[in-house]
Structure 1
Amino acid sequence: MPQTKWKDEPDEHDYPAAADYLALLADRATVDHLTAQLRSAPILHKKAKDILRAARLQLLPADNPHVQADLDKIENGKALAPILLVRGDLESDVALQIADGYHRVCASYHTDENTDIPTKIASWK
């Protein structure tokens, strides 16, 4: 399996997708605030294994259709979009939220759990 390539910035459609997910967790004003933070956040690199652990999410299997589609992109040398995250809170036991890119994180993990994934991170506070 070739090394995962990453785009420099998320795709434009990733922000509304993140907002749709976050709207299940927060009110519209909070979602708008988080989305604005994500748009302006710098790219930070985090490992797939750490993202999944902090989000308390299971690794999806490689045969999941969406993970497989991203694995096919990796195999064909196509770059994946960075992941959009909302920071958790250790003190209040709130997990990291993968606002957009769960399948991309899983695909990257299947190729190498230690690969640095470009992310943008917003905070609830």
Structure 2
Amino acid sequence: MDHDHHETPSFWRSRAGLALLSKSWHFLYHAQRRHHIATAGPYRWVRHSQYIGFVAIVFGFLLQWPTLLTLAMFPVMVAMYVRLSIMEERESKQAFGQAWLDYAAVTPQLIPKFGRNGALPVNNH
């Protein structure tokens, strides 16, 4: 049976991660240029969407081409991004003060919250 790797869940997981990463960087870049908190686009749902994109890409690769090295490195990479997000949280709190605290109070750090109907809630920041 001929199987196209573009039809596998791992391919689409990596593709979705790349799309999220690209979209996140766009909003982050423009917010940083204005010295604002990125609260639009994917940042409405989660404070570190760019890291979720990276993890999705690498997880897709891990599923597509599992090796001992990728299996060992995946949890290390996830831990590094969690640690980086915590450091960035401290910097953002210092830079933006109460505005950051207000945003952080309603927007999850890494895992989006879903409503009762399974949809992401709209964050009006």
TM bucket by the smaller chain? under 0.3
If the length of structure 1 is used for normalisation, what is the TM-score?
0.22
Q: Which has the higher helix share?
A: 2
Question: Larger relative CO (CA 8 A, sep 6+): 1 or 2?
Answer: 1
